[in-house]
Amino acid sequence: MIDLHMHSTCSDGQDTPEKLVELAVASGIDVMALTDHDTINGIERACNAAEKLGIDFIPGIEIGSSGGKELHILGYGVSYKDKGLIDFYDENRVHRIARRDRFIELLNKAGVPVTIEDICRVNNGKSTGRPHIARTIVSMGYADSVDEAFKRYLQTPEFYSLDRPKPRFDKSIEMINNAGGIAVLAHPYTLKLDKYDFTILLKKLISAGLSGIECYYSRHTVEQTVYYRDIANEYGLIFTCGSDYHGLDVKPDILPGRGCNNSLLNAGVPEKEIIERLKDKIK
């Protein structure tokens, strides 16, 4: 089994990089990638753990980008010492903190009396991602689940109007390539584009240096998987497979390697082809 999209406590996941590697091994995964949001901080730790436990590990990152709705670019094979990505993380952290503070204000006005201290307490000191805020809202009883907290408070027009500045997709791809990695479009279904507009965006991504599409994804339908695979083939792109595991508090229905209700297990993922073509690109 393979899983090329997983999050640790270095971004908004629940498990430390070491725990995540242990969990991947226990889940029967042979090749895993750590793809924390906007950071490579967990890579060295995960890589060391993977070496100890004998699992094949690919260093990664996921960069939230502008130029589309929930447009996330995965980077594989990036160096954990890359200065460009380290500097990007530092800059971006400032934006995330400022966004969190704007957002706390908005929530307070909406009658949810959440504070920075609450968010830190609920998340063991972590506080800058939407899932951290969502978990806090749930723990304070203002929503029944993280998903509900997102729908009610964190995916609203008011939220998006307060969102942080993000690098444009071409900048994200450039940062990944400069760090020695290759860029893959994450969970394309979140773009919510029809085929015509998706093709237009895809061509722009390819011109910017995109190498692949995450065709096999926990929440893709069979039709979406087939469509994205066909279009990847048409444009000579590689395809990848990822669960987007964050831990059961954040995404209760997603399991490492298996996806959502075994969606990845049932998708007939061509694991060997995916890993061979990916490794060929990042070597």
DSSP string, 171-182: HHHHHHHHTT-E
Among 39, 244, 247, 251, binds Zn ion (CB under 5 A): 244
220 binds, among Fe ion, Zn ion, ligand AMP, none (CB under 5 to 8 A by kind): none
Q: Is 99 in the site for Fe ion (CB under 5 A)?
A: no
Rounded to the nearest whole angstrom, what is the least distance from the CB of residue 52 to Fe ion in the complex? 26
And the tokens for 218?
């926990």
Binding residues for Fe ion, total number by CB under 5 A: 3
251 binds, among ligand AMP, Fe ion, Zn ion, none (CB under 5 to 8 A by kind): ligand AMP
Q: Is 175 in the site for ligand AMP (CB under 6 A)?
A: no
Q: Which residues, 6 or more positions from 225, have their beta carbon under 8 angstroms from its beta carbon?
A: 215, 216, 217, 267
Chain positions 224 to 263 lying near ligand AMP, rule: CB under 6 A, are 250-251
147 binds, among Fe ion, ligand AMP, Zn ion, none (CB under 5 to 8 A by kind): ligand AMP
Chain positions 113 to 132 lying near ligand AMP, rule: CB under 6 A, are 129-131
Residue type, 249: D
Task: Using alpha carbons, list the distances in angstroms from residue 188 to 29, 95, 128.
Answer: 24, 25, 24
Q: Is 59 in the site for ligand AMP (CB under 6 A)?
A: no
Residue with tokens 């920075």: 116
Question: Which DSSP category does 189 fall into?
Answer: G
Rounded to the nearest whole angstrom, what is the least distance from the CB of residue 187 to ligand AMP in the complex? 8
CA–CA distance, 80 with 58 (Å, rounded to integer): 11
150 binds, among ligand AMP, Zn ion, Fe ion, none (CB under 5 to 8 A by kind): ligand AMP
Strands, DSSP E only, in 219-283? Answer: 238-242, 254-255, 259-260
